[in-house]
């Protein structure tokens, strides 16, 4: 019998989906019962012209229909029959395609085979590979793009919530609210991924949900081993969700298989294991105040707030438009200065326009702000993982995680903090034996603290480890040829040598650090964010890295200065004061260049016109202005021709080759329409 190719394709896809539902099915449960019934109906509808095959499908559908009508779950008999049908169908369809006799549907032990292998093998020549959840995600972007975009955004929130709950349960194994919150996230992910036919995600989330159901029923204790396994499952699910995001962005289907079968096997093994000391009564689970069944957010907040999801691209577009509005408003103010005296109404209108523009700008900036909590949570997870991998015992504490900061800063600070925590665990925190011998607690402590200081946020990363000896750092830098042996450095300058490229004090490469890379990248990334970092340490007591970052990367309060015919903008937070030097206060010191004696404090002098080769600038410092500018580890004197004004400006990306100019972090359009370059003091010194 001749059938259209679309019928074969429809049956093939439906059988694949049916096999995915079968892999998840269990006796005594109704998971997959209704979807299997629907898929059998779909197959039967298209196979009307082939009664020898359609009849077998209809008989199986009748069996499931009987279960559904009686509100009964799968049993061993129905599951075995369904498994045999799934095994038989590909071979039967191959026989129909070849015009051969359809093989007889026989009995078998498919269910037992599936339990042992974790996958389902198809008979017939058309199925050489076993059906397993270790397979590529199949995404129908043409039909389901909108649904997948919504799923991707929600899945990221659920994965964050899962990790947050797991870390809470690692500290408080009997926290019922965290357990319920995590269970709901897995349940939601299972349901939506099943609807979208994302079989690996559905299968893995289903198994973890079953495990958590046992914990909620009080028959299983969430031990550190179980929590670690669930964290691994969560990581695999995140990789799968990331594949969905990449496919939505680039339009290409996933090309890498994310293995999940081994995780499913681990979860099943944990679920089947019942240790007497792990049994926990339901009443022993600790609930926080309120109803545990409320829908809560990642941090336990009620999820009933009025919120909508919006793409970051739309936010960026709106912020760009608001920035242009701010520039236009500034230009209107500049152009109308001469007419304000003649038209009082104009002055009131401009003042009102300025207030509205400032309010709109503040609201637009607030939309870019996100809590720093997810970043801190990721670091807490890192400390937990490193503690279990190495010979260190360490706990983690996060303070000020509700501080909000520009989302770009949050994203770009992840890698630097990972480097710093890995170094703290390897170089800072001592082994338990060393700590006990020195009179410290066996377990170390890493504290990540955020606080807002005006238009900046400060992040302190502290450990109570062995600290950093500046003399050891200096000696190692000399040994590696980073500095000459006769160099004269202050204590702070010696400590900052750890940021030099290729510097490392370790004698051997470990799984944590020791390859001579990392801290130089940390400082460079922080400087690129217009931030600074400095070190406070006490040998034997611990180390604190103090990082200062701008709250937003879109707006800056700046001091406009002129050098020759060019104008530059310095962040106001970096400018301490401006002085017009007297003759004789600037001198030249061998090896250090020009320095300023500012009330007994010797500061290096940088001539901006020499750095950027600007003609026509003031050469005599007594005729110019020296700005005392603070960087991450020092104060320098910057020679400019004139201070023009102080104003808030919108940062513009220079793009192309200009974005690589040393010491420049962006540009801004001033009120008169001219462009001024924004200086980064830390990068300026490095240049």
Task: Tell me the per-residue pLDDT of 556-591, one tens digit each, with 9 for 90 and over.
Answer: 888 999 999 999 999 888 888 898 888 878 888 776
Q: Is the whole-model pTM more than 0.75?
A: no
**Residue pair 324/357 in contact by the 8 Å Cβ criterion:** no
Residue ranges for the chain with pLDDT beneath 70: 1, 106-131, 273-287, 289-307, 341, 505-518, 591-592, 632-633, 656-660, 686-687
Residues 358, 363: Cα–Cα separation, whole Å: 9
Neighbours of 41 (CB within 10 A): 15
Burial of 568 (0-12, 13-18, 19+ CB in 10 A): buried
Owner of token pair 């995680």: 401
Q: Quote the tokens at residue 12.
A: 């093939």
- At 117 the pLDDT is 38
- Dihedral sign computed on CA atoms, order 406, 409, 414, 417: negative
Q: Which residue from 475, 477, 447, 483 is spatially nearest to 462, judged by alpha carbons?
A: 447
Q: Give me 226's structure tokens.
A: 């179980």
Would you state the pLDDT for residue 275? 45
| The pLDDT of residue 512 | 54
CA 631, CA 363: separation in Å to the nearest integer? 30
Tens-place pLDDT, residues 81-109 = 998 898 899 888 888 888 888 888 864 44
Residue 314 token pair:
């739309």
In 3-state terms, what secondary structure has residue 616? coil
Which residues are CB-contacts of 595 (< 8 A; sequence separation ≥ 6)?
586, 587, 588, 589, 602, 603, 604, 605
Query: Residue 624 — left, alpha, or beta (φ > 0 → left; ψ -120 to 50 → alpha)?
Result: beta
Residue listed under structure tokens 């600790």: 286
**Residues 179, 374, 310, 353, Cα dihedral to 10°:** 130
110 within 8 A of 80, measured Cβ to Cβ: yes
Which pLDDT score, from 0 to 100, does residue 506 have?
A: 59
Tokens coding 139: 């995404």
10 Å CB burial of residue 281 (0-12, 13-18, 19+) is exposed
Residue for token digits 């006490």?
538
Measured distance CA(111)–CA(82) in Å, rounded:
9
Q: What number of other Cβ atoms are within 10 A of residue 28's Cβ? A: 9
User: How far, in Å, CA of 607 to CA of 613, rounded?
Assistant: 10
Give the total residue count for the chain.
687
**Unique residue bearing structure tokens 């040998």:** 539
Task: Please tell me the predicted confidence (pLDDT) of residue 492.
Answer: 87
CA 374 – CA 402 distance, rounded (Å): 10
The total of other beta-carbon atoms located within 10 Å of residue 148's CB is 20
């Amino acid at each position: 019998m001749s059938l259209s190719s679309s019928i074969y394709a429809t049956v093939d896809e439906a059988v694949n989906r049916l096999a995915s539902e079968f892999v998840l099915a269990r006796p005594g449960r109704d998971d997959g019962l209704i979807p299997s019934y629907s898929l059998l109906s779909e197959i039967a509808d298209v196979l009307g012209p082939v009664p020898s095959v359609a009849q077998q499908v209809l008989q199986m559908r009748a069996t499931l229909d009987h279960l559904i009508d009686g509100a009964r779950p799968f049993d061993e008999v129905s599951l075995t029959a369904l498994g045999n049908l799934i095994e038989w169908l590909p071979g039967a369809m191959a026989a129909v395609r070849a015009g051969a006799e359809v093989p007889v549907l026989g009995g078998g032990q498919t269910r037992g085979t599936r339990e042992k292998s974790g996958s389902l093998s198809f008979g017939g020549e058309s199925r050489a590979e076993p059906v397993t959840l270790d397979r590529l995600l199949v995404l129908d972007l043409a039909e389901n793009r909108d649904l997948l975009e919504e799923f991707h955004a929600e899945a990221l929130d659920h994965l964050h919530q899962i990790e947050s709950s797991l870390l809470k349960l690692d500290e408080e194994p009997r926290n019922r609210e965290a357990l319920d919150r995590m269970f709901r996230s897995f349940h939601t992910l299972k349901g939506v991924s099943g609807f979208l036919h994302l079989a690996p995600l559905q299968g893995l989330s289903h198994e973890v949900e079953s495990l958590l159901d046992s914990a909620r029923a009080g028959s299983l204790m969430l031990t550190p081993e179980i929590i670690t396994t669930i964290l691994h499952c969560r990581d695999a699910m995140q990789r799968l969700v990331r594949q969905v995001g990449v496919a939505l962005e680039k339009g290409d289907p996933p090309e890498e298989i994310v293995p999940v079968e081994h995780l499913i096997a681990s979860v099943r093994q944990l679920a089947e294991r019942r240790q007497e000391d792990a049994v926990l009564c339901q009443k022993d689970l600790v609930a926080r105040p309120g109803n545990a069944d409320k829908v809560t957010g990642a941090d336990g907040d009620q999820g009933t707030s009025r919120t909508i999801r919006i793409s970051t691209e739309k936010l960026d577009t709106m912020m760009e438009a608001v920035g242009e509005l701010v520039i236009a408003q500034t230009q209107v103010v500049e152009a109308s200065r001469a007419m304000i005296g003649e038209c009082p109404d104009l002055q009131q209108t401009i003042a009102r326009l300025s207030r509205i523009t400032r309010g709109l700008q503040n609201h637009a900036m607030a939309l870019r702000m996100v809590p720093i909590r997810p970043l801190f949570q990721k670091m807490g997870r890192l400390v937990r993982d490193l503690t279990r991998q190495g010979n260190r015992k360490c706990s983690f504490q996060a303070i000020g995680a509700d501080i909000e900061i520009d989302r770009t800063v949050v994203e770009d600070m992840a890698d630097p903090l990972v480097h710093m925590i890995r170094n703290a665990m390897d170089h800072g925190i001592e082994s338990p034996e060393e700590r006990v011998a020195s009179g410290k607690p066996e377990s170390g402590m890493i504290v990540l603290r955020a606080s807002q200081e005006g238009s900046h946020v400060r992040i302190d990363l502290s450990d109570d480890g062995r600290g950093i000896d500046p003399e050891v750092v200096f000696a190692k830098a000399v040994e590696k040829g980073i500095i000459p042996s006769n160099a004269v450095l202050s204590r702070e300058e010696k400590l900052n040598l750890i940021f030099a490229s290729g510097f490392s004090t370790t004698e051997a490469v470990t799984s944590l650090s020791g390859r001579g890379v990392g801290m130089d990248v940390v400082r460079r990334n922080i400087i690129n964010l217009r931030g600074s970092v400095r070190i406070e340490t006490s040998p034997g007591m611990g180390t604190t890295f103090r990082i200062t970052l701008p709250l937003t990367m879109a707006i800056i309060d700046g001091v406009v200065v002129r050098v020759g015919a060019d104008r530059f903008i310095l962040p106001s937070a970096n400018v301490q004061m401006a002085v017009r030097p007297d003759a004789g206060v600037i001198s030249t010191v061998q090896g250090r260049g020009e320095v300023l004696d500012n009330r007994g404090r010797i500061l290096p002098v940088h001539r901006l016109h020499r750095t950027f080769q600007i003609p026509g600038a003031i050469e005599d410092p007594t005729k110019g202005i020296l700005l005392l500018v603070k960087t991450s580890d020092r104060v320098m004197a910057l020679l400019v021709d004139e201070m023009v004004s102080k104003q808030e400006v919108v940062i513009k990306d220079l793009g192309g080759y200009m974005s690589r100019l040393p010491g420049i972090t962006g540009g801004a359009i001033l009120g008169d329409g001219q462009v001024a370059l924004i200086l980064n003091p830390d990068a300026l010194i490095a240049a």
